[in-house]
Structure 1
Amino acid sequence: MKKNYPEKIFTGILVCILILLVLNILSYLDFYYNNLEQRDYFFRKTNFNLERNAPTIFSSSLHFTASILLAIIAFSKLSIKKVKSFWIFLSILILFIGLDELLVIHEKVGRAFGENVETSGIFFFAWVVPYGIALILIGLTLLKSLLKLPKKTRLNFIMAGAIFVSGAMVIEMFTGWYVEYNQLQNENLLRVPDTFILSTFEELFEMIGIGFFVYSILDFIREYKIKT
């Protein structure tokens, strides 16, 4: 396999993201200006803010790919991987996030959490509270092993995580505040241009983040020529 395959794969991922972005914008413009219903087929299958469609499947497939690659590293004979449990845990974590993307687990958690705790402002979407706490705990747990990675891999992993979390948590929290502040109704969120832009950036950051993570893992594999 050619030495520049991680870059080529990442370029392919970015092209796919660009195509999905264009379709997302076109379907929204069609939906908005022609006053279509939310069940419009093109809109449902391409909108970034809806589930179980092309963007969701693509994003989940990137997570599953990353999970498999992490598992390969975990069970390889490579000494530089340092702590085997780190790679196994990371593989399981990314697998869960991919399943969450497909099955919308976070929204179910949010509904259950919101029934017992009143949330508002940046915590308007209740799921960000338990997931935020989990993120901090997981980050602290993995920090020691992360710091043992080669410098390039460590920085790549941190950058990928920062990009992903910026979309999944930071923009989501701002969107929650914006929705509450402007008293927007749930049934109108898909039609309001402001929330469309926010949700587009949210999913865009998530896809670029996990795409760069896949690249980072492939770069690590290339650099250290993993053998199972």
Structure 2
Amino acid sequence: MALYFLPDYPSRDFLAMAFNVDGEGNIPTIYSSLALLFSSLLLGAIAYAKNLDSCRYQNHWKILSFIFLGLSVDEMAQLHEHLIGLRSVLNATGVLYFTWIVPIGFLVVIFLLSYSKFVFHLPVATKKLFLAACALYIGGAMGMEMPGGYLASTTGAENVSYVIVTTIEESLEMLGIVVFIHALISYIKTYLGGVSWNIYIPGKNTQVTEDQNIGIPALSGPAHTNLSR
């Protein structure tokens, strides 16, 4: 918006590039990648707890953790952009101008179908948050990518309309991950009794033994343990 509506000022172009949500290797990209990585770590913690409990859905949690790890790497490296080469093969224009949504959309449908039973076994509150996060993230990543592709193929990407669409798209993705992280933390606190992180730094003059290490609770207050299988 600074580029289109404000007069020139020192470092305007640099700041616009640094905070452009549709850019690569900048602040929004790093934030989104770290948010996805944090989701992967939370999913890994849940998978570990489910493995100890021999939960029948333990592998679903593990796979989700790896999926979000992959999404984090993709967000930073923009690997899915390489699929744009399909544009010439499919002769894609309009809403399918960004052709990566075709193969990725197919994988998303398979994922949603294969995880339907897993989602519906979750507690009601967690289920609602998962579905809301999924709707926001997929709605942003794929739903808004189609009008963005249409604008890019017809009017180009250097206009206010395209900037608005991409800003909405990336904002929905970020909001979806925030909702998902909230869902995971709430699930850990309510159904797994919380998680604590311990720091132990050995040294010559160590004042704290390993059995007395410093506990930093990530979630306050142990909750009732009601593991849903």
Where on the TM-score scale, by shorter chain, does this alignment land: which range?
A: 0.7 to 0.9
- Give the alignment partner of residue 102 of structure 1, picking from 76, 81, 97: 76
Q: Which residue of 1 aligns with 2:204?
A: none
For the 8 Å contact 1:48–1:199, the answer to whether it is kept is yes
- SS of residue matched to 2:152: helix
Shift of the alpha carbon at 1:33? 4.0
Q: 2 CA distance for matches of 1:59 and 1:118?
A: 31
- Give the alignment partner of residue 174 of structure 1, picking from 112, 123, 147: 147
Q: Which residue of 1 aligns with 2:33?
A: 60
For the 8 Å contact 1:46–1:54, the answer to whether it is kept is yes
After TM superposition, the score normalised by the length of structure 1 is 0.78
Residue 184 (structure 1) aligned with residue 155 (structure 2): yes
**Greater helix fraction, Structure 1 or Structure 2:** 1
Q: Which residue of 1 aligns with 2:15?
A: 42
Q: CA RMSD in A?
A: 2.3
Shift of the alpha carbon at 1:94? 1.1
- SS of residue matched to 1:40: helix
Shift of the alpha carbon at 1:184? 2.0
Larger-Rg structure: 2
Q: 2 CA distance for matches of 1:195 and 1:160?
A: 24
Shift of the alpha carbon at 1:131? 0.7
Q: What is the number of residues matched between the two proteins?
A: 193
For the 8 Å contact 2:3–2:13, the answer to whether it is kept is no
- For residues 32-54 of structure 1, the C-alpha deviation after alignment (integer angstroms, 9 at most, x for no partner) is 54479xx9311111111111100
Question: Which letter maps to 1:110?
Answer: I
- For residues 190-224 of structure 1, the C-alpha deviation after alignment (integer angstroms, 9 at most, x for no partner) is x4111111111001000000011001000000101
Unmatched 5+ stretches in structure 2 = 197-229
Q: Which has the higher contact order (CA 8 A, sep 6+)?
A: 1
Shift of the alpha carbon at 1:145? 1.3
Matches within 5 A, 1:116-127: 116-127=89-100
- For residues 112-140 of structure 1, the C-alpha deviation after alignment (integer angstroms, 9 at most, x for no partner) is x2242221222111111011111101111
Residue range with higher mean Cα deviation, 39-48 or 156-165:
39-48
Identity among equivalent positions (%) equals: 29
Question: Which letter maps to 1:119?
Answer: A
Residue 217 (structure 1) aligned with residue 184 (structure 2): yes
Q: 1 CA distance for matches of 2:137 and 2:68?
A: 12
Question: Which letter maps to 1:84?
Answer: Q
- SS of residue matched to 2:49: coil
- SS of residue matched to 1:48: coil
- For residues 156-203 of structure 1, the C-alpha deviation after alignment (integer angstroms, 9 at most, x for no partner) is 1111010111110001112112333xx223xxx1x4111111111001
Shift of the alpha carbon at 1:30? 4.0
For the 8 Å contact 1:160–1:213, the answer to whether it is kept is yes
Shift of the alpha carbon at 1:29? 1.5
After TM superposition, the score normalised by the length of structure 2 is 0.77
